[in-house]
A = this chain, B = another copy of it.
Amino acid sequence: MGSIFGRYLRAATFGESHGPAVGVVVEGLPAGLPVSAELIQRDLDRRRPGQSAFTSARREADQVEILSGVGADGLSLGTPVALLVRNQDARSKDYGDIRRLFRPGHADYTYYYKYGTPPQPGGGRASGRETVGRVAAGALARALLAPLGVGIQACTARVGGVLALARDWAFAQADPLRCPDPEVAQAMAEAVRQALAEGDSLGGVVEVLASGVPVGLGDPVADKLDALLAGAMLGIGGVKGLEVGDGFAVASRRGSANNDQISPQGFLSNHAGGILGGISTGQDIVLRLAVKPTPSIARPQATIDLDGQARTMEIKGRHDPCLCPRIAPVAEAMAALVLADAWLAQRAARQA
């Protein structure tokens, strides 16, 4: 168990940070969809590090290769689509000296006790590099959803104390931090720069918007759409919280203020974030993710080694000071995978 997402559209990712390659096998993609390396590359390029001062200096071409599942005519065959990205810039020497220490905030400790394996270079399977496979799979899911008019976007709604109020999605796509609010983009960048200068990192909030989702997706009670989305989002490294629609704001609210009343023209509000009873309403689906500050920091931290001895470590090398802009495309991909899966489920389940 562990590395296969989905029920109808299934994505089996593989790969460690410093191994030969990362990738994914996607099963259940219907035949006849136009699939090309370019299509997938576009999404991979958006998640790639080395794009700005705010993302890790690791530079990988991340060229995807389609190994199967697409015919000579460029259309999906209905068979598994295997996608491969070689690891080129592995530089394991960066990590060699820390193979015997558990980095605080990382999975080294838990992997060691689960698998009996010492800390792997770059985090091994627990590295963010694993998300290459998710983003590549997500591109296929988007290709399936596109004809339905479903659009999925993510932005950095907050970094530390700086909140984005506006939602200018075009601006967010171009902004290095994916800030959707031109007014605060500068302040957001400054907050990250400040943390970085102090050898530290900063947390934030990523917001995901899925529009054009048809009414009726999601299968109660064990496979509710919000439950599937929650599992997908909490499965992204560094995410510690999730809100659907108004999220925690509902805790202090009364029913009369929280219910989305209905008119012949549709719902009069969308506090629910597009999901009722685990099924999509046809309104925008809105999610917010709490993203923890990057655990790799250049400050001395207490830890232990494999022998249980007390040690102090400073983590050097290339690290994103804020995970939000890296998580945004992954969150988009995961949302796309869940929605495409739910769409296939609904095709099977619809009224006899």
Taking a contact as CB atoms closer than 8 A, the residue among B8, B195, B264 that contacts A310 in the complex is B264
Asked whether A93 is an interface residue with its Cβ less than 8 Å from the other chain, the reply is: no
Taking a contact as CB atoms closer than 8 A, the residue among B21, B257, B352 that contacts A31 in the complex is B352
Asked whether A74 is an interface residue with its Cβ less than 8 Å from the other chain, the reply is: no
A251-B290, A344-B349, A347-B348 known; A67-B21 Cβ under 8 A: yes
Taking a contact as CB atoms closer than 8 A, the residue among B144, B160, B257, B273 that contacts A352 in the complex is B144
Q: Within the oligomer, what is the number of copies of this chain?
A: 4
The interface centre, meaning the residue of A8, A105, A106 with most chain B CB atoms within 10 A of its CB, is: A105
Number of residues from A at the complex interface, CB < 8 A:
153
Of all chain B residues, the one with the shortest Cβ separation from A215 is B113
A-B contact pairs, 26 of them (CB 8 A): A1-B28, A12-B27, A14-B82, A20-B68, A79-B125, A110-B275, A113-B215, A114-B279, A125-B220, A144-B352, A147-B352, A200-B254, A221-B235, A224-B234, A227-B230, A227-B232, A230-B230, A230-B233, A234-B242, A234-B244, A241-B242, A241-B248, A251-B290, A255-B292, A255-B296, A344-B349
Q: Which residues of B contact A302 (CB under 8 A)?
A: 261-263, 268
Asked whether A240 is an interface residue with its Cβ less than 8 Å from the other chain, the reply is: yes
Are B247 and A303 within 8 A (Cβ)? Answer: no
Given contacts A107-B277, A251-B290, A256-B297, could you give 16 more A-B pairs where the C-beta distance is less than 8 Å?
A: A2-B220, A3-B25, A4-B10, A5-B222, A19-B69, A23-B82, A31-B352, A79-B124, A84-B84, A105-B272, A107-B276, A126-B277, A161-B252, A195-B255, A227-B232, A227-B235
Q: Which residues of B contact A221 (CB under 8 A)?
A: 2-3, 13, 125, 130, 235
Taking a contact as CB atoms closer than 8 A, the residue among B21, B78, B240, B246 that contacts A349 in the complex is B78
